[in-house]
Amino acid sequence: EVHLVQSGGGLVQPGGSLRLSCAASGFAFSSYAMHWVRQAPGMGLEYVSAISNSGGSAYYANSVKGRFTISRDNSKNTLYLQMGSLRAEDMAVYYCARVEWGGYADWGQGTLVTVSS
Amino acid sequence: DVVMTQSPLSLPVTLGQPASISCRSSQGLVYSDGNTYLNWFQQRPGQSPRRLIYEVSNRDSGVPDRFSGSGSGTDFTLKISRVEAEDVGVYYCMQGAHWPYTFGQGTKLQIK
């Protein structure tokens, strides 16, 4: 069974940094692209960032480009999202997701990022 | 970016009755490999999203057969043959054919 267990959320001041982690199990982690998706309070779902299975290619939504960095450690079966220069509009629940057949086959439990002074 | 437009945004349904959600994309969703990457997700209150349908009409493992997907080109539909109480939540369509992946606004299904 696929498990994606997230950690690292919390309260951060505007302009601050935070790193999210997503520990994967139950599948061949190094074979799959992984994404981060977020959901602002009471709102819909928004793609944030993507990384290829090898980690050699990374992509970002325009709203986070230059501020967020996605990475993965295939030896540890773990996905990361380093978030910097955080803004109020980055406040959301962040989900990691495994990509299969052109969509998100599995999701993490979500982690809340609160940006407030 | 590809815009995904869902309707209705609110869907009150009587238990045991059918329900249908429409999703229209601003561009066709056939990828270069010939597959159509249109997905449907269910998000129950307080839970992570869960994929129900991939590639227009394929049910994910464990998804009840009362859920079905159809469509082509830019018009797609999710149907629930007989709504049950556990189906309450928000339903999203999502395209994975063009970069970046984009979602519809969501349709909130509630019991009448």
Residue A41 touches chain B, beta carbons under 8 Å: no
Q: How many angstroms separate the CA of residue B30 from the nearest CA in chain A? A: 11
Q: What is the mean pLDDT of residues B35-43?
A: 98
Contact across the interface for A44 and B48, Cβ inside 8 Å = no
Write out pLDDT tens, residues B58-92.
Answer: 999 999 999 999 999 999 999 999 999 999 999 99
| Residue among A44, A61, A107 whose CB faces B100 most closely | A61
The amino acid at A91: M
Contact across the interface for A105 and B92, Cβ inside 8 Å = no
Q: What is the mean pLDDT of residues B2-26?
A: 98
Contact list in B for residue A46 (CB cut-off 8 A) is 103
Q: Could you tell me the two tokens for B8?
A: 């209705």
Parallel/antiparallel/unpaired status of strands A10-12 and A111-115: parallel
- Report how far residue A19's alpha carbon sits from residue A96's, in angstroms, rounded to the nearest whole number: 13
- Report how far residue B69's alpha carbon sits from residue B22's, in angstroms, rounded to the nearest whole number: 10
Residue A71 touches chain B, beta carbons under 8 Å: no
Contact A102, B35 (CB under 8 A): yes
Greatest CA span in chain A, whole angstroms?
41
Write out pLDDT tens, residues A16-70.
Answer: 999 999 999 999 999 999 999 999 999 999 999 999 999 999 999 999 999 999 9
Contact list in A for residue B39 (CB cut-off 8 A) is 102-104
The residues in B 7-66 lying below 8 A from A, measured between CB atoms, are 31, 35, 37, 39, 41, 48-51, 54-55, 58, 60
Contact across the interface for A104 and B39, Cβ inside 8 Å = yes
For testing contact with chain A, the best of B3, B40, B48 (most A CBs within 10 A) = B48
Q: How many angstroms separate the CA of residue A24 from the nearest CA in chain B? A: 16
Write out pLDDT tens, residues A61-104.
Answer: 999 999 999 999 999 999 999 999 999 999 999 999 999 999 99
Q: B50 Cβ partners below 8 Å, 6+ apart?
A: A107, B41, B42, B43, B44, B60
Q: How many angstroms separate the CA of residue A41 from the nearest CA in chain B? A: 11
Contact across the interface for B37 and A103, Cβ inside 8 Å = yes
pLDDT for residue B23: 98
- Report how far residue B78's alpha carbon sits from residue B91's, in angstroms, rounded to the nearest whole number: 9
